[in-house]
Amino acid sequence: MHAIQLRSAVAQLFTVLALACALPFTSYAADPQLKIGSLVPKNSLYHRQLMEVGEAWKKSQSGSSRFNVFTDGSQGGEAEMVRRMRIGQLQAALLSVVGLREIEPSIAALQNLPLAFRSWEELDYVREKMRPGMEKKFLDKGYVVLAWGDAGWVRFFSKQAAFSPDDYKKMKFFAWGSEAEQQEIMKSMGYTPVPLEPTDILPSIQTGMINVVPSTPYFALASQIYNSAPNMLEINWAPIVGAFVISKKSFDEMSPETQASLKASADKAGSVIRMQARKEVEEAVDAMKKRGLQVNKPNAEQMKEWRALTETLYPRIRGKMVPAETFDEVFAHLKTYRASKTP
């Protein structure tokens, strides 16, 4: 009798286990954490928006939860932050194309094409056209794009006044340590790149290791670069494009309600960042001008030289810094947009 009952109990146990294995299994972390990395300055617009995203995420949790936003490159450069996401030390990051291309190289098409975009409207048009395909590529690499943003136009801040491409051949440029292709192209054209991390910019320009920093006006103001490099070339070289990404592994560990809340708050933050960052470009320039910044505007002939330089650069960029297919796609969209605006 006892043997029969035992066999019956064992049979029931295996039945329960079999049913359990057949059911979809979802596990949400009991004590979830959200660690976000970025190079943005503490208390900046970008930092404040990331804090709001973190608060919205925390409120959507049912149990105890913690979030941290690491600013000022405290988690390393952007390539290092991507590495930290891969091993789980960070769950998410607000990155520019420099970091994003460590995940998906084709994203470089939105930032590494000098003088390609003539306005924010052109950038918005091209990004929206490419967005679904780009987000799918990131998802395939194990990352969810929560929001898109930008941080202003890159301009050249230098110790000495400069107006033409040749003027800069006498100078030493800050270059991202992770962008070896860009450094190779610069060297082949007679320029001198010095690979550094962003946290090294200020001491390096103060000591003379570099004397030109490609930077957005907002970053130049926030980091005080303009004090050591008080000349700015008024040329919209390229937009700084960014995205707020989270590892798919971390995203999948969240409940559907938390995922929806995170996406909504991040999308709102992206809109605020884009709108405010564009407004702050001129505000930052005005603030620096009051403190001694010299704004140098190229004349028509010098602008022709800059345009000619980009025509020389594009064949070197295509297929090397930017995948050929994506390079062609950007210019096809630009052609369509400009044709639609031509009377």
Q: What is the pLDDT of residues 203-249, one digit of tens each?
A: 999 999 999 999 999 889 988 999 999 999 999 999 999 999 999 99
Query: How would residue 297 be classed by pLDDT, with cut points 50, 70 and 90?
Result: very high
Nearest-angstrom CA–CA distance, 123 and 100: 17
Q: What is the pLDDT of residue 178?
A: 67
- Confirm if 84 and 75 have CB atoms less than 8 A apart: yes
Q: What is the pLDDT of residue 12?
A: 40
Which helix (H) or strand (E) segment is 94 a member of? Answer: strand 92-96
Nearest-angstrom CA–CA distance, 156 and 277: 18
Q: What is the pLDDT of residue 177?
A: 74
Q: Which two tokens stand for residue 309?
A: 């330089």
CATH of domain 31-341: 3.40.190.170
Asked whether residue 16 carries a pLDDT value surpassing 80, the answer given is: no
Helix/strand/coil (H, E, C) string of 122-180?
A: HHHHHHHHHHHHHHHHHHHCCEEEEEEEEEEECEEEECCCCCCHHHHHHCEEEEECCCH
Q: Tell me: the pLDDT tens digits for 146-173?
A: 999 988 899 999 999 999 999 999 999 9
Nearest-angstrom CA–CA distance, 211 and 193: 10
Q: Tell me: the pLDDT tens digits for 298-323?
A: 999 999 999 999 999 999 999 999 99
Q: What is the pLDDT of residue 304?
A: 97
The percentage of the chain sitting over the pLDDT mark of 70, rounded to a whole number, equals 90
Other residues' Cβ atoms within 10 Å of the Cβ of residue 147? 23
Mean pLDDT over the full length of the chain:
88
Least Cα distance to 36 among 200, 223, 218, 262 occurs for 262
Q: Tell me: the pLDDT tens digits for 51-101?
A: 999 999 998 886 678 899 999 989 998 999 999 999 999 999 999 998 999
Instruction: For residue 10, give the 3-state DSSP assignment.
Output: helix
> Whole-model pTM above 0.95?
no
Instruction: For residue 33, give the 3-state DSSP assignment.
Output: strand
Nearest-angstrom CA–CA distance, 141 and 14: 38
